[in-house]
């Protein structure tokens, strides 16, 4: 019984450790707003579209896609 009392008192004899402040990085998004995705003419074609219609739709969509790509690159460049 005496040895149990000695263990309990020994545990109380040490001072508790002081709290430490730890800095933890937290993810914050750097993108404030995403550019609106364009509506591509190719996506609206029916499966029965002719090859000519498909080629024309892709030709009309190409500038839209390049513009959208440029806007996305500008947004991503702000994150670097």
* Residue 71 confidence (pLDDT): 94
Q: Which 3-state string (H, E, C) describes 11-71?
A: HHHCCCCCCCCCCCCCCCCCCCCCCCCCCCCHHHCCCCCCHHHHHHHHHHHHHHHHHHHHH
pTM of full prediction above 0.95:
no
pLDDT score for 12: 66
pLDDT tens-digit map of 27-61: 878 888 889 999 999 999 999 999 999 999 999 99
Q: What is the mean pLDDT of residues 70-78?
A: 91
Mean pLDDT of the chain: 87
Confidence label for 65 from pLDDT (cuts 50, 70 and 90): very high
């Amino acid at each position: 019984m005496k040895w149990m009392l000695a263990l309990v008192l020994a545990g109380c004899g040490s001072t508790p450790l002081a709290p430490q402040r730890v800095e933890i990085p937290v993810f914050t998004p750097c993108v404030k707003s995403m550019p609106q995705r364009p509506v591509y003419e190719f996506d609206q074609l029916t499966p029965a579209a002719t090859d000519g219609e498909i080629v024309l739709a892709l030709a009309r969509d190409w500038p839209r896609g390049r513009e959208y790509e440029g806007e996305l690159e500008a947004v991503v460049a702000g994150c670097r």
